[in-house]
Amino acid sequence: MVRAHDHTSLSLAASSKVLDAKRLRSASAATEPPARHRPIGADPLSDVLRTVKLTGALFFLVDASFPWGVEVPRAARFSSIILPRAQHIVSYHIILKGAGWAGIPNATSTWFEAGDVLVFPHGDRYSMLSEPGQPPEFDTEATMDFFREMAAGRLPFVSKEGGGGEPRSEFVCGFLGCDMKPFNPVLSTLPRLLRIKWFQDRHEGLLNRLIDLTLAEARQPRVGGESIRLRLSEFIFVEAMRRYLETLPAREIGWLSGLRDPSIGKVLIMLHEHPAYAWTLNELARRACMSRAALAARFTHLVGHAPMQYLTLWRMQIAARLLADSSMKVATVGREIGYESEAAFSRAFKKTVGVSPAAWRSNAAAAC
């Protein structure tokens, strides 16, 4: 399975980098942000997921008979096995049948049932159990061997677990790689565990159809099926995030809450559509029809960063991706995100990221 990873990545291709570079150059030189001319600019969620290099890593189905219990170690323990180049691993589980309890250390256990998606965005150690308080049969070495064999394609898509009794549970396990550094605004503000409803009517909705397609593909193995399943696992995660966005309670805070807010969402779209433009708080406030103080307070409350701080962080994420994936000179990368001189860009990058642009590029090359 490892061999297919590079082919299933959602990262920008080299040609896209050149096109984005031209777009950013024109944006930084303009006295006014250019008119919106491509749909992607108005979609910050896609912008983020593409730029943080969301990549399918591992995908399989668990058929569990009562009593059953599984515990997954911290993602840092097995990330090098399932996706060696990934900075971070996110796991999610789609509950197809049955019910149980999900637990994270130092947190209250969460009940789940068929129709739920559980997302563990921060790489925590966690357990999934058929009964609360049940000690899982946890063997770190056995778990690592399982990941190693599954990633290598030496195990079937369906993994059987448990004691052989009833009731039975079925859940899909998906593991995704992505970047967390220097800045991943989606994951950084998510809770440690998300429980999302993926269906009301089993036969309606995009998420339902994606899951059905994935299971159908797994039940009829064909050449290229592994790559298709991994790509579908990425689509399923994105649709789960969209479902989470649609069902967020009004009181919730975080990047997705900011995206949903009419005024703050408009500001996020502007910043993502034209990241190299010389934005000021005054201009953002004017375009959002808010006062400076109101914009700064609401943006910071929802997103977790002040508007101009967020812009700097996002620019550095774009720069980090360009440094890692292209042969652009450091000065050119700086210009693409709005810095007129290499020295100014290098100072800002090191202050924000902790290393120089050249060191970041070298580290990225060494990880390949």
Q: What is the pLDDT of residues 59-68, one digit of tens each?
A: 999 999 999 9
Neighbours of 115 (CB within 10 A): 17
Please check the confidence at residue 247 and state whether its pLDDT lies above 90: no
Indicate the pLDDT class of residue 215, thresholds 50, 70 and 90.
confident
Instruction: Give residue 299's pLDDT.
Output: 98
Q: Is residue 119 within 8 Å of 92, Cβ to Cβ?
A: yes
Mean pLDDT computed over 348-367: 94
Segment 131-153 shows an average pLDDT of: 84
Instruction: Give the pLDDT confidence score for residue 41 in this predicted structure.
Output: 46
pLDDT for res 43: 87
Higher pLDDT: 203 or 103? It is: 103
Q: What percent of the chain has pLDDT over 90?
A: 68
What per-residue confidence (pLDDT) applies to 191? 92
Q: How confident is the model at residue 137 (pLDDT cuts 50, 70, 90)?
A: low
Residue 208's pLDDT band, with cuts at 50, 70 and 90, is confident
pLDDT of residue 204: 66
pLDDT of residue 96: 94
Give the residue-averaged pLDDT of 343-355. 97
Asked if the model's pLDDT at residue 200 lies above 70, the reply is no
pLDDT over 70 (residue 293): yes
* pTM score, whole prediction: 0.84
Judged against a pLDDT cut of 70, whether residue 22 lies above it is answered with: no
Give the pLDDT confidence score for residue 88 in this predicted structure. Answer: 96
For residue 4, pLDDT over 80 is answered with: no
Q: What is the 3-state secondary structure (H, E, C) of the chain?
A: CHHHHHHHECCCCHHHHHHHHHHHHHHHHCCCCCCCCCHHHHCHHHHHHHHCCCEEEEEEEEEEEECCEEEECCHHHHHHHHCCCCCEEEEEEEEEECEEEEECCCCCCEEEECCEEEEECCCCCEEEECCCCCCCCCCHHHHHHHHHHHHCCCCCCEEEEECCEEEEEEEEEEEEEECCCCCCHHHHCCCCCEEEECCCCCCCCHHHHHHHHHHHHHHCCCCCHHHHHHHHHHHHHHHHHHHHHHHCCCCCCCHHHHHHCHHHHHHHHHHHHCCCCCCCHHHHHHHCCCCHHHHHHHHHHHHCCCHHHHHHHHHHHHHHHHHHHCCCCHHHHHHHCCCCCHHHHHHHHHHHHCCCHHHHHHHHHHHC
Task: Answer whether residue 202 shows pLDDT above 70.
Answer: no
Confidence (pLDDT) at 214: 86
What is the pLDDT at residue 13? 40
Range 31-49 average pLDDT:
63
Q: Is residue 30 scored above 70 in pLDDT? A: no
Mean pLDDT of the chain: 86
Once rounded to an integer, what is the mean pLDDT over residues 135-140? 67
What domains can be seen in the chain, in order of their start residue? Answer: 11-42+255-367 (1.10.10.60), 53-247 (2.60.120.10)
Residue 26 has pLDDT above 60, yes or no: no
Which pLDDT tens digit goes with each residue over 93-130?
999 999 999 999 999 999 999 999 999 999 999 999 99
- When pLDDT is averaged across residues 66-78 and rounded to a whole number, the result is 93
Q: What number is the average pLDDT over the span 332-355?
A: 97
Least confident of 157-171, 200-214, 240-254, 341-355: 200-214
